[in-house]
Amino acid sequence: MRSPLGRTVALLLTLALSPALAVAAPAGRVTHRALWRLDFFDDFRKGLRPNVWGAYSGEPGGDPGGWWSPSHVVVARGLLDLETYPDPQFGWRWVSGGVSSGPSLKQTYGKYQVRIRVDGGKGVAFAALLWPANNKWPPEIDFAESGGGTGARNQISAFFHHGAKDDQIGRTLRVDFTKWHVVGVEWLPGELIYTIDGRAWSVIKSRAVPAEPMEMDIQTQAGTCGNRWQPCPGNQTPTYVNAQIQWVKVYAYLGPR
């Protein structure tokens, strides 16, 4: 299971973002720091392929109020929808969807890009993250996270979890996440570069940056009642809260430029 969202932030930085940024797919061949090779692309025109993505199932780690079901991972109208809604098949509890690249993609270092938007909805969180392939946590790199505290989607955060005591470095960016954006991270030796719409918005340099194979996960998650950071959905929450993904790109790291 994935680690629960919404932990206390060790370091917080808020930046303004120009609304004029384009959302077209970045070419992404070379940055000022590294050489890349496109190794993975999915626009879901062939549906959700089980040899490419694994759908979440069961209770999220540390979140007894949430639940995941493969039936909440739907491809329609050329989009991957991760749906959160009260599901009669689960006693009307709030159920969410999530996918893992574990069946097809595990690598050390790389550039990751996801074109996505998320509905507003109190009590429903979203995250795109890198998770250790051996399932031994930490480390964890959450490169785009939107908590469900208010559900306003007026900012995204990035969290780097490391160390036996779950040390964290957090960053936050003000942006309308109900609109389409390309979120991503460039994972280099000793460095993480968080990106949006082809622009770097924060950089982490640390010896703790992992150097081990990781997979990419994308998920929504209903919160737990009584948790101030991740409350459960309520009367103010729309019946359906979806995260929509148009495409995913992943590049292999070929070394410094």
Listed in sequence order, the DSSP H helices in 120-215 are: none
**Strand ranges (DSSP E) for 24-123?**
34-42, 54-55, 73-76, 79-87, 93-95, 98-100, 110-118
Determine if the pTM surpasses 0.75. Answer: yes
Categorize the per-residue pLDDT at 148 as very low, low, confident or very high, splitting at 50, 70 and 90. confident
**Residues 134-147: b if buried by 16+ CB within 10 A, e if exposed:** eeeebbbbbbbbbb
Q: Which domains does the chain have, with CATH numbers?
A: 29-256 (2.60.120.200)
At 54-101, the pLDDT tens digits run 999 999 887 888 899 999 999 998 999 999 999 999 999 999 999 999
Categorize the per-residue pLDDT at 230 as very low, low, confident or very high, splitting at 50, 70 and 90. confident
At 86-143, the pLDDT tens digits run 999 999 999 999 999 999 999 999 999 999 999 999 999 999 999 999 999 999 999 9
User: Which pLDDT belongs to residue 9?
Assistant: 29
Q: How far is CA 159 from CA 10, 136, 154, in A?
A: 9, 17, 17
20 pLDDT higher than 60: no
The answer for 119, left when phi > 0, alpha when psi is -120 to 50, beta otherwise, is: beta
- Kindly give the pairing relationship between strand 167-174 and strand 14-15: parallel
